[in-house]
Structure 1
Amino acid sequence: MRIFARPLARLAVSLAGTAALLAVAAPAPAEAAPLGRACMFVAPKGAYGVGHAAFAIKVRGERDHWIYGSFGSTNDAPLRGWIKGGTWGQARGHFKKVYDRDHDSPRYYTQYRCVNTRDGNQKTAQDWYRTVKSRGYDLHTNNCLHMSMAVFKGYSSILRKDSRLVSATNELPNRYFGTVLGKAGWERANVV
């Protein structure tokens, strides 16, 4: 029996190492994978320096289909709002090419932040877009930030219930983008 003890011990150690390697290399279970993604784009010089916000949401179940849009910017016409669908490259490309007429600058949107969510319903998000748009633009109670947050919170019940995502009323888009989203766990800002 002693003759087999060492090889069996080495085999047990080898199998344990292989199992540990497989546990580390194995993909995460499907339940843990994020199903939705929301991104806020910001034009820091917009609205006389308080910023301008726009939105993008990933269509759940699609590999690369996004809904994106804006509300209330003369640089990103029409002022009354717009919404489009396309790939992430098209969404990001759209925001990248908006010219800043107010400051005679080739770039209006300069940054974006995203967050993954386990849920996401683009139909509800689009319904909220239409609801906010139908109320008409109001600087304090129905602006670009309200629109973006309504879309995000319509899209995801998780985002809607996140108490860190405070009301957009009387919030400045630049501050919301930089401070509120950061405290709410959104990814660091990326360059458009």
Structure 2
Amino acid sequence: MRIAKKPMARMVASVVGALALLTTGAVTAPMEAHAASLGRACMFEAPRGAYGAGHAAFAIKVRGEANHWIYGSFGSTNDGPVAGWIKGGSWEKTRAHFTSVRDKDHNNARYYTRYRCVNTRDGDAKRAQSWYGAVKRRGYNAATNNCLHMSMAVFKGYSEILRKDKRLESATGNTPNQYYTKVLPAARWEVSHQL
């Protein structure tokens, strides 16, 4: 079978043109095509925790895996040892864990009630776990090493992009509720999702 030169030349020109558009950023591939390679970080929040100051927990997606997450928290008497905890599993398992935690101080109502996420082009789960270990070894301190410090350390250990984002203020001087409702939206994290 012989292919005419003119149609072949047109096909080559259109492929070259499409590649040029993709490399210059004029056209981008659909988000779904890159979803597995993107990093993703989520803060889970219990607004009534810590006597109304709120309680924060973290979840990070393991890049390169379709559905594996690392999640945990620090200093909560409602959902694990006071020193903190860390687990791994699917997104469904992550959400199910946070949904199942009950608030012992409020008639066993759901403790975590909402979460916000952000995608990032990078993400190193091993480095995030290392930062988790460093914060945990320092011991819990309500003012300088609490659940919000832990969550932010994990996020910033996970992603250099998040670490360099000046909109993500220090956890010191912020309550988890303030951080969740003011700082994360200012840093363009997604809208709040209910559990």
Normalised TM-score (structure 1) = 0.84
Q: Could you tell me how far apart the structure 1 residues matched to 2:130 and 2:50 are? A: 26
Identity of counterpart residues, as a percentage?
Answer: 65
2:175 matched to which residue of 1? Answer: 172
Q: Could you tell me how far apart the structure 2 residues matched to 1:29 and 1:137 are? A: 39
Of 139, 155, 159, 1:156 maps to 159
Larger Cα-atom Rg = 1
Alignment of 1:31-46 (within 5 A): 35-46=38-49
Q: Structure 2 unaligned runs (5+)?
A: 1-17
2:144 matched to which residue of 1? Answer: 141
Q: Structure 1 unaligned runs (5+)?
A: 1-18
Q: Could you tell me how far apart the structure 2 residues matched to 1:49 and 1:106 are? A: 14
The yes-or-no answer on 1:77 pairing with 2:80 is yes
Q: Could you tell me how far apart the structure 1 residues matched to 2:31 and 2:45 are? A: 34
Query: Could you tell me which amino acid in structure 1 is paired with residue 91 of structure 2?
Result: W
The 1:60–1:78 alpha-carbon spacing in structure 2 relative to 1, beyond 3 Å, is same
Q: How far 1:27 sits from its partner (Å)?
A: 3.7
Check conservation: 1:97, 1:106, Cα contact below 8 A.
no
RMSD of Structure 2 on Structure 1 (CA): 2.2
Q: Would you say how many aligned residue pairs link Structure 1 and Structure 2?
A: 170
Q: How far 1:30 sits from its partner (Å)?
A: 9.2
Normalised TM-score (structure 2) = 0.83
The 1:171–1:30 alpha-carbon spacing in structure 2 relative to 1, beyond 3 Å, is same
Q: After the TM superposition, which parts of structure 1 deviate over 4 Å for at least 4 consecutive aligned residues?
A: 29-34
The 1:189–1:167 alpha-carbon spacing in structure 2 relative to 1, beyond 3 Å, is same
